[in-house]
A and B are shown apart, each in its own frame.
Chain A
Amino acid sequence: MSLYRLDAMGVTIDGRDLVRGVSLEIAPGECVALAGASGSGKSLTSLTPFGLSAGTITGSAVLEGQDLAGLDEAGLRRVRRASVGFVFQQPLTALTPHRTAAQHLTESAMQAGGARPDRNTLVAMLDAVGLADPAIRLRRYPHQLSGGERQRLMIACAIAHGPRLLIADEPVSALDAHLRAEIMALLTRLRRETGMGLLLVSHDLASLEHHADRVLVMQGGQVVEAGAAQAIARAPQHAYSQALWAATPSLKAALPDDLHVPGAPLVEAQDLTVRFAGNGLFTRPVTAVDAVDLTVHQGEAVALIGGSGSGKSTIGRAIAGLGPVSAGAVLWNGARLPARRSLEQRRMIQPVFQDPVASLDPRWRVSDIIAEPLVHLRPDLTSWGRAGLVKKALQMVELDGALADRTPAGLSGGQAQRVAIARALVAEPQMLVLDEATSALDPLVAVQIVALLKRLQRDQGIAMLVITHDLALAAQFCHRAAVLDSGRIVEQGPMAQLIAEPQAAMTRKLVAAS
């Protein structure tokens, strides 16, 4: 007896068919996952039958024997209230900021007509989702909780009224790698305990193998492959599924053996400390980076891995000369870099940032963007000379020269990031600082960028400091790794060793999550 069933379901918005022919079935206690890149239609498929998107459905969607297709808004509201729970991707924006955790929980518990829960019940609800110190958390506002805590709160709210079906739209995509496994495990546990069905939307393919019973792979609004989760994970049949799986770095893949051989030490951080003053009269200063020692050799790629708030971006900025240094030093070829760097010193280390669109001036053209470092750092060049180097840089990042006259609005995410990389390379630096350079990109695009970085490293021998929260990603092309937790380096060493024998607790969590 199926709990939820879609038969040739489609989604139409403004007359356009964005999703076509989706069929799936969820039995109580089962988890069915929709996988695919962004734009594949998976969110629309999961949310539209319940009236939570801008579209309308065609075909049939049946929940516990009731057909959703014919219901009006009031009817759908009744269904949402009583039988379904929802978990969304960004808990910070999905939870009303001016209501406390207790208020959220109470509202959710009462939405199906239940009685007002007393304090002990609320504490028990938070406990059931693994939230520490639930009594204290009840009084907190969403922005006062950490990312993982917020998502647990959202899950607690979603199940508070005892729904038969839980729909989770990218529940862990916005979380750090080491938290993802925990949240997914929580969802699986809840599913087994309550017999709830789970419709999971995700592009985190690694976790689907362990947590989903069946997987449907979607591309361009249609299902290209469907089957048992483990079967698809191990041997995807369709070309798109294969590409998708290949694009997800996993530690099971073999480490590369063709990396550039590193040379002498190039950049060293010695005892690097960064403190931020509290703002206003009454907040205390924060130590974001605490006595960090880090060395990057010529031609070497070093990964700096940690969760959000661990201080990794702060270190990256300090090393690139873009952020403050409170104590300690950054050395270049053994010589200390001053607070105000010379143009030559600036030229040697160049940054690439996470958000490709925000890292390009929206009003400038691509050719001007890439030429900017040359204007200041190579004043010896004429505009002819600059144009030549810009062209060379575009070729290096495999971009068509025709893009040179566009503004960033006309570029895709991947193209924009290539432009950012071209800008970083044009003045011929010896080291790149890459701050989460692929995190904001679609997985398939990210794969291409990583391949590009690998190639650059091999052909140009550029040193790289790769800042990321994804250990598996870094393992693909980094020689060594340093693990950061709360501003301190807890472990450092060759990549292979770190993965095989993690010592620190944080490292072990990261390895387990990948």
Chain B
Amino acid sequence: MKRIALPAAIVALIALAALVLPMLLPWSHDAIDWDHVRAAPATAGHWLGTDELGRDRLARLAVATRITLAVALAAALVSMLVGVGWGMIAGWAGGRTDELMMRIVDALYALPFMFIVIVLMVVFGRSILLVFVGIGLVEWLTMARIVRGQVMTLRHRPFVLAAEASGAPVRVILARHILPNIAGVALAYLTLNLPGIIMIESFLSFLGLGVQEPLTSLGILVKEGADDMDVAPMGLQVPGGVMVTLLVCLTLVGERLRDRFA
């Protein structure tokens, strides 16, 4: 448990900062300070300086982190709901139903989902809703497979049979016996999913398809920073550093949870 504490605390700290900072800072994330364009850090109330449009970097960073985390959580929840639901039904039903449901998962797995998401983004416009639904739809497959495996193992455990012998109807067994026993694994993989989702979002931003102006995200900041790398390396280093830290800590927490529960 000790080993979860540190990375989890870091994530919590970052999230807290992202939530609170914009309210405390004098500059908003899209306000333009015409007098201080490309300012160095700690000039005129801009703790991290300003970017090439004169926007406060720290404010942008905080808002970007908020949005990235929100998108990631929302997408992860979508993927968890669909994945857990699908996996539970397939794992419990077994037989033909399971075969069919898992074949569908296999078929969908083969789809180059990334590209479908890109196509979706291009076609349907760039709403933030679509972003996280789209991402969620990419990630549910792994969750479905894992949940289905767990449910199948539990399905034949004697305590489930005993519950059947006790006259418990299926929905009660699923809710009170199966779900609590897969909650740990589901949570672990949910946490492990988050870094992947954040990467997908940043990839979409790289292509210009992710979160749109006036909103911003870590992916956008990193892309802008990378474009500007030779001129203002800090524009890449700081958001990049935050993103990598978030990803690494989330991965560590997810792995510890997975080791504990699975």
A contact set with B: CB distance below 8 Å: 317, 320-322, 343, 346-347, 349-351, 353-355, 358-363, 372-373, 375-377, 420, 423, 427
Task: Give Cα A375 to B168, complex, Å.
Answer: 8
Does B159 sit within 8 A of A, measured CB to CB? Answer: yes
- Say yes or no: A376 contacts B166, CB within 8 Å: yes
Partner of A377, one of B162, B167, B180: B167
Q: Which residue of A lies closest to B168 (CB)?
A: A376
B29 to chain A, nearest CB (A): 45
Q: Which residue of B lies closest to A378 (CB)?
A: B167
Task: Give Cα A372 to B168, complex, Å.
Answer: 8
Task: Give Cα A420 to B163, complex, Å.
Answer: 11
20 A–B pairs (Cβ distance < 8 Å), ordered by A: A322-B161, A322-B164, A351-B158, A351-B165, A353-B158, A353-B162, A354-B158, A358-B157, A358-B158, A358-B159, A359-B162, A360-B159, A361-B181, A363-B181, A372-B162, A373-B166, A375-B168, A376-B166, A376-B172, A427-B166
B138-169 interface bits toward A, Cβ cutoff 8 Å, 1 = contact, 0 = none = 00000000000000000001110111111111
Chain B residues with CB under 8 Å of A343's CB are: 167
B contact set with A: CB distance below 8 Å: 157-159, 161-169, 172, 177, 180-181
Chain A residues with CB under 8 Å of B166's CB are: 346, 372-373, 375-377, 423, 427
- Say yes or no: B159 contacts A376, CB within 8 Å: no
A371 to chain B, nearest CB (A): 9
Q: Which residue of B lies closest to A346 (CB)?
A: B167
Chain B residues with CB under 8 Å of A347's CB are: 167
Partner of B165, one of A321, A360, A361: A321
Known: A362-B181, A363-B181. A350 touches B165 (CB 8 A): yes
A242 to chain B, nearest CB (A): 34
Task: Give Cα A358 to B156, complex, Å.
Answer: 10
Chain A residues with CB under 8 Å of B169's CB are: 376
Chain B residues with CB under 8 Å of A351's CB are: 158, 161-162, 165
- Say yes or no: B165 contacts A373, CB within 8 Å: yes
Partner of A355, one of B158, B163, B167: B158
Mostly helix, strand, loop or mixed at chain A's interface? mixed
Q: Which residue of B lies closest to A379 (CB)?
A: B167
Mostly helix, strand, loop or mixed at chain B's interface? helix
B253 to chain A, nearest CB (A): 22
- Say yes or no: A363 contacts B165, CB within 8 Å: no
- Say yes or no: A372 contacts B163, CB within 8 Å: yes
Chain B residues with CB under 8 Å of A355's CB are: 158
- Say yes or no: A359 contacts B167, CB within 8 Å: no
Task: Give Cα A317 to B160, complex, Å.
Answer: 13
Q: Which residue of A lies closest to B156 (CB)?
A: A358
Partner of A346, one of B158, B165, B172, B181: B165
Chain B residues with CB under 8 Å of A362's CB are: 181
Q: Which residue of B lies closest to A372 (CB)?
A: B166
Task: Give Cα A377 to B166, complex, Å.
Answer: 7
Q: Which residue of A lies closest to B178 (CB)?
A: A361
Task: Give Cα A351 to B163, complex, Å.
Answer: 10
B160 to chain A, nearest CB (A): 8
A28 to chain B, nearest CB (A): 48
A419 to chain B, nearest CB (A): 11
Chain A residues with CB under 8 Å of B177's CB are: 361
3 tightest A-B CB contacts, nearest first: A359-B158, A376-B167, A353-B158
Q: Which residue of A lies closest to B183 (CB)?
A: A363
B189 to chain A, nearest CB (A): 19
- Say yes or no: B168 contacts A359, CB within 8 Å: no
Task: Give Cα A248 to B191, complex, Å.
Answer: 51
A279 to chain B, nearest CB (A): 9
Task: Give Cα A427 to B172, complex, Å.
Answer: 19
Q: Which residue of A lies closest to B159 (CB)?
A: A361
Task: Give Cα A359 to B177, complex, Å.
Answer: 12
A280 to chain B, nearest CB (A): 9
Chain A residues with CB under 8 Å of B172's CB are: 376
Q: Which residue of A lies closest to B95 (CB)?
A: A277
Q: Which residue of A lies closest to B180 (CB)?
A: A363
Chain B residues with CB under 8 Å of A346's CB are: 165-167
Q: Which residue of B lies closest to A359 (CB)?
A: B158
Task: Give Cα A343 to B166, complex, Å.
Answer: 8
Assuming A354-B158, A359-B159, what are 19 further A-B pairs, CB within 8 angstroms?
A: A320-B165, A322-B161, A343-B167, A346-B165, A346-B166, A350-B165, A355-B158, A361-B159, A361-B163, A361-B177, A361-B181, A362-B181, A363-B180, A363-B181, A372-B163, A373-B165, A376-B166, A376-B167, A420-B162
B137 to chain A, nearest CB (A): 29
B190 to chain A, nearest CB (A): 19
Task: Give Cα A376 to B165, complex, Å.
Answer: 10
Chain B residues with CB under 8 Å of A375's CB are: 166, 168
